[in-house]
Structure 1
C-alpha cells in the first residue's frame, strides 16, 4: 500500500510538472509569435542589456583603480584620472540604461497592443453560443488583466531577469578573478543566505496572489451593486450591502496585513543575512589587507561584486513568481485565441448571393437543439417557405422557438438537421458577413452603444451621411425627440442608452434598421412592454420599414399582426398551423385561446366559432 501511495504521489507530481511545462511552452510560443515581427528592436534591447551589464560589472574595477591608484597613492592627478574613468563608466551606464529601458518597454507595449487586437478580433467572430457558456466578466478579465500581466513581464520582468542573470554569472566569475579565497567563502555560505530568502519569498508570493484575489472580490462587489443601483435602492438594501461590503474589505485587509508582515520579515531576514555575510567577507578580507595579502582596492571591488551577486540572486527569486504568473496568463490568452467558432467564417463550399437579393426564405426539415441543452429539442422537423416581400408573423407561447428561428436565420447557430435557404442558397454555404447583410434586426431590447445618437443610428451603415441618418430618424418618428435633446443628434448616450425611454430606444432601433436597407426585416416583439403612445408611434413607422421587404414578426400582441399576410402558430418547435388571422381564429385552438385572452377586454371581435 505505501508503494501504491508513493506511486500516486509521483503520478500527481508528474502531471503537475507536465502542466507547468505546458504552460511555459504556451507562454514562450505566444511570446515568440508576437515578438518575431520586431526582431530589430529585440536585438537592440539585447545589445543595450549586455552593454549595461558589462558597464555595471566594470564599475567594480573602476572602484579598485579609484582606491588603489587614486586614494592609496595620495596623488591628485591619479585621483582625477581614476574619477574620470569612473564617470565615463557611469555615463555609459546611463545611456545604455536609457536605450534598454526604452526598447524593452516599447516592445512590451507594442506586443500587448498586438495581442489585444488579435484577441478582440477573434472574440468578435466567435459564435454567440460561446458567450452563453462562458462568463463575460471572466472573458473581460482575460482580455484586460492577463494582457496587463504580459505587458509587465515582457516590458520589464524579462529584462530584469536577463540583466540579473548576466550580473549573477559575471559577478561570480569576477569574484573568483578578484579574490579566489574570498569567493570560496561566499560560495560556501551562499545556500545559507539564499534558502531562507527563497522560503519566505514563496510565502510572500502566495499571499500576494491571495491578496489580489480578495481585491478582485472588492471590485466585483462594487461593480455588481453600482450596476444594479436602482434595485439596491428600491428595496432599501443599502444597510445590508454596507455590512457585506465591509466584510469583503476587511477580509482583503486581513490578508494584506499578513502579506505585509511576511514581507517585512523577508526584508529583515534578507538584510541581516546578506549584510552578515558581507561583514564576514570584510573581516576576512580586512585581515588580508592588514597582512598585505591583498590590496584595499581589491577588497572594495570584491565587496561590490558580492553585493551585485546578492542583489541579482534576490531579484531573480522575485521575478520567478512573475514569470509563472505570465505563463498562466499566456495560457489563458492562448486558450481564447484557439477557441474555434462553431460557425465557419469561410465555408468549404462557398457561394455568393446574386444581386439584388430578393429575400425569399425556406426552411427544409430544420431541427435544432441548443448546445447547452442537447436533450431538449427546440425546433422539430420544421418546413416553411416565405415568399419575397411577404409579411409572416410568428406567434405562440414562450419557449415555442420563435426567437430561435431568428438566431438560425442570422446564423448565430447552424441547424442540427435540415437546411435554411435564402433565394435558394444554403445559408451554410454563405459567409456569415454576406448572409447577415440580407437582414435588418429590430430586437425586443434594442442594443445601444456608448456614443452619440447619430453614431447609434449609423451603426447599421457606418458610411451613411447625416442626411441619410436624419431621413431614417424621421421615418421612425424619432426626429422630434432627438431634436428636443440639448445636443440633438450629437447627444452622447450613456451605457445601453441610459436616459432614454423604451419607446425612444425602439424608435432608434427602427431608424437603424431603415438605414441598413436590407431585403429581409426581423422584428422581435418591437412593440412589447411599451406604453400606448410609444406603440402608436412605432406602429406608424413600421409600414414604411416593412414596405417591399420580406418581414418576419415575432409578436405576443396579436393586434399588431392581424394584417400580416400569414400568421404562423408555433408551439414546442412545431408548426401548429399557418394562415390569416380570421382563418386561425376559426380553426386553431391554440390561436383561439391566445386571441380570447388578449381581446377579452377589447371592443374588437375575436370571430371565434360558437
Structure 2
C-alpha cells in the first residue's frame, strides 16, 4: 500500500491535520468554552508575573508585614483562579480529544466495512487495524492534550514577549535576537521527525499483522513445531520497529535539547545584563524578578511548542493515512437510482437467475480469466449444482452473484433485472450463503444464529437451530444459547460450526440459497438430519450448490460442469455420464475412492 509520507513528503504537517478539523466542527460550543478557559488561564499565568513584581517590591523590599501578607494573598487568589481555569481547560480539551477520536474511529470502520472485497486482496488487515486503533489513538492524544498545550504555549509565548517589552525593552531585545536560533532546530529536526514517525507507524502495523496471523493459525504453527522460528521472526519485526523508533526519538531528543540549551543560554545572558542594571540602580529587583518570570515562561513555552511540534509532525503522518483511507471510493456501490425487483408471479416460487456472456478477471490477477464467456439460465425453484476441479471458477460464480465483484464483460440478472441496477442491500437480502468453511463471530450462539435475521426472537432462533439439527448440542453447552463460542467458533467442532451456519441461513429464509457443500464437515448421522433440513429449506427456492462430492448432487435439476473458468457442459447426472468426459472422470475418481 502506498503511504502518504512517501508520496507527499513536502506537505506541511498543519495542512495534513487541517481536514481533521471537520470532525471537531460539530462540537463548536465545547471548542469555544475550551478556548475561553485556555485564554483565561494564559491571562492569569501572565498576570502572576506582575504579582511576583509586587511581592518583591512592595513586600520584601518595603519591609512591611501587612503589605507582604496582602500581596501574598493576592498571589494565592490568582493561582486559585489559574487552578479553576486549568480544570475546565483540561477537561474540555481531553473530552474533545476522546470524542473526536471516537468519531474518526467510527468513520474509518464505517468506511472499511463498505469497501469492495478486492481492496482487501491488496491491503493487509493488520495495517487497516493499525489505522483504526494506533493512528486514531495518536490523534486523540494530539487533539486532547498536545494541541491544547501548543495553543496555550503560543498564547503564553506571545503574551510573555509583550510583557517582556513592557517590563524592560533592552533585555527584551536580547530575547528577540535569540528567537531565530531557537526556531532553526525546530524546523530541521521537526521535518525529520515527521518522516520517521510515519515509518514507525508502518513498522508497528507490520508487527500487528504478523502477530495476528500467527495467533489465528496457532494450531498450524505448533503442529509444525515452528514456535522457535516464529519467535525469532517476530523478534526481528519488533527490532525493526524499535530501530525506526530509536531514530525518531533521537531526532526529537536533539530537537528538545537544542531548544532548551539555546533558550536558557539566552536567559543566562539576560540575567547577567539585568543584574548589572539592578546593581547600577537602573531597574528594581521586582522588575528583574518579573522579567525573569516572563523570560522563563517564554522559554518554557518555546520548549513546549518545540516538543508539541514534534508530536504534530508525527500526528500528520497518522492524519494523512486516515484521510487517505476515508477518501477511498468503493468500486462496488448501489446505483444512484436503483430499480426494484419485480413482484414474483403466483406461478413463480422463487427468483430466476441468468448469467449473460460474462467475463471476469480478479484485480489481483488481471491476466488470468477467472470466468470466461459464462452463459447460464437457472429457472424459478431449480436446484443447480456447480461441479469441477479446484480453480474451475465455482466459488467465483457465487461471488459474482452476490456482487462482491463486477464483471469486465456481460451481466447477471435476477428476474430479468441486472443486479448492477439493484441496491446492494436488496440484492444481498434475497440470498442466503452457507460456506464450506463456516464463519462464526466471537460472540454467543444466539448472536451467531441471529446474524441471519437481526432482531429475531429467541423462539425463532431456537426453531432455526432445531431445523438445522443444532439445538441438542447447543443445549449441552455450559450456558446454552448464551455460550460464548470464542474466536471463529474455536470452542465448537467443525460439524457443530457448520450446523450453526446452516441455522443462520434457515433463519434468514432467503429466496436464493447458495450452498458450498454445506454438509461436508458433518458426520454421517448429522449429515442425514441436516440434509433433511436443507431439503425443506430448498423447497420453493432457487438453489445453487457447489458440489465437491458428486454423490450429493445426483438428483438435482441441473448439473453445470466447469473447468478453468469455462462452462464445459450442463445436464443431469445421467446425461453427463454419457456426454461429458470431465464429469465421467470426476465420477470415476470419487466413486472408485469411495469403493476402496
Give the structure-2-normalised TM-score. 0.91
**CA deviations over 1:18-74 (Å, ceiling 9, x no partner):** 935656576345223212211111111111111111111111111101111111111
- 1:111 and 2:103 matched: no
In structure 1, C-alpha distance between the alignment counterparts of 2:175 and 2:107, rounded to whole Å: 49
Q: Residue 448 of structure 1: CA displacement?
A: 0.4
Which whole-Å deviations, capped at 9, do the CAs of 1:344-374 have from their partners, x for residues lacking one?
2234453344268831112222222222222
- DSSP 3-state at the match of 1:419: strand
Matched, 1:285 2:277: no
Inter-partner Cα distance in structure 1 for 2:558 and 2:47: 89
Closer/same/farther in 2, CA of residues 355 and 295 from structure 1, 3 Å limit: farther
- Structure 1 SS opposite 2:384: strand
Q: Deviations for 1:458-506, whole angstroms, at most 9, x for unmatched residues?
A: 0010111111111111111111111111111110011110121111111
| Residues 20 and 163 (structure 1), Cα distance of their counterparts in 2 relative to 1, 3 Å cut | farther
Deviation at 1:87, TM superposition (A): 1.5
Could you tell me how far apart the structure 1 residues matched to 2:78 and 2:295 are?
19
Partners of 1:347 and 1:429 within 8 A in 2: no
Q: Distance in 2 between matches of 1:78 and 1:569?
A: 102
Partner of 1:580: 572
Shift of 1:101: 1.1
SS of corresponding position for 2:376: strand
Match of 1:469 in 2: 461
Residues in 2 aligned to 1:307 and 1:135: alpha-carbon distance in whole angstroms: 49
Report what 1:458 is aligned to. 450
Describe the superposition over 1:165-206 as per-residue Cα deviations: whole angstroms up to 9, x where unpaired.
Answer: 111111111111101111122223444566567767777777
Equivalent residue number for residue 7 of structure 1: none
> After alignment, is 191-200 or 478-487 more displaced?
191-200
Stretches of structure 1 lacking an aligned partner (at least 5 in a row): 1-14, 605-610
1:370 aligns with 2:362: yes
Using the alignment, how far apart are the partners of 2:541 and 2:248 within structure 1? 66
CA shift for structure 1 position 538? 3.2
Checking the alignment, whether the CA contact within 8 Å between 1:453 and 1:492 is kept in structure 2 is: yes
Question: Does the CA contact (< 8 Å) of 2:174 and 2:266 recur in 1?
Answer: no
Change (3 A) 1:600 1:17: closer
Structure 2 distance, partners of 1:602, 1:255, is 58
Q: Name the counterpart of 1:559.
A: 551
Match of 2:117 among 114, 119, 128: 128
Work out the CA distance in 2 between the residues paired with 1:31 and 1:246.
35
What are the within-5 Å matches in structure 2 for residues 47-86 of structure 1? 47-86=36-75
State the distance in 2 between where 1:48 and 1:177 align.
24
Q: Is the 8 A contact 1:27 1:331 kept in 2?
A: yes
Q: Is 346-355 or 572-581 further displaced after alignment? A: 346-355
> How far, CA to CA, are the matches of 2:249 and 2:114 in structure 1?
44
1:35 to 14, 24, 48: 24
Residue aligning to 1:514: 506
SS at match of 1:596: helix
Q: Does 1:330 align with 2:319?
A: yes
User: CA, structure 1 residues 253+322, in 2 after alignment: closer, same or farther (shift >3 Å)?
Assistant: closer
| Residues 530-567 of structure 1: CA deviation (Å, up to 9, x unaligned) | 54445444333321221221110001110011111111
Shift of 1:569: 1.0
Distance 1:199 1:26, change over 3 A: closer
Name the SS for the 1:451 alignment partner. coil
- In the alignment, the residues of structure 1 paired with residue 444 and residue 338 of structure 2 have an alpha-carbon distance, to the nearest angstrom, of 41
- Judge which range, 146-155 or 303-312, deviates more: 146-155
2:147 alignment counterpart: 158
Alignment correspondent of 2:78:
89
Is the Cα contact below 8 Å between 2:125 and 2:209 reproduced in 1? Answer: no
Aligned residues: 590
TM-score (norm 1): 0.89
- Higher mean alpha-carbon deviation, 489-498 vs 320-329, is at 320-329
Which residue number in structure 2 is paired with residue 8 of structure 1? Answer: none
Aligned to 1:304: 293
For the residue of structure 2 that corresponds to 1:493, the secondary structure is: coil
- Conserved? CA contact 1:164–1:312, under 8 Å: yes
Structure 1 residue 328, shift from structure 2 partner: 2.1
Contact 1:557 1:598 in 2 (8 A): yes
Q: Which residue of 1 aligns with 2:176?
A: 187
Report if the CA contact (8 A) 2:207-2:238 is conserved: yes
Secondary structure, counterpart of 1:500 in structure 2? coil
* 3-state SS in 2 of match to 1:551: strand
Residue in 2 that maps onto 1:409: 401
CA contact (8 A) 1:23 1:331 kept: no
Alignment partner of 1:359 is 2:348? no
SS at match of 2:51: helix
Cα distance in 2 for residues equivalent to 1:268 and 1:21: 25
Residue equivalent to 2:413: 421
1:385-427 Cα shifts (integer Å, max 9, x gaps): 2111111111111121111111111111122222211122221
Paired residues of 1:26 and 1:330 also in contact (CA < 8 A): no
Distance across 2 between alignment mates of 1:52 and 1:279: 27
Which is further off, 464-473 or 29-38? Answer: 29-38
Distance change >3 Å, CA 19–CA 474, structure 1 → 2:
same
1:608 aligns to what? none
Aligned positions of 1:389-400 closer than 5 A: 389-400=381-392
C-alpha separation between the residues in 1 aligned to 2:253 and 2:119? Answer: 45
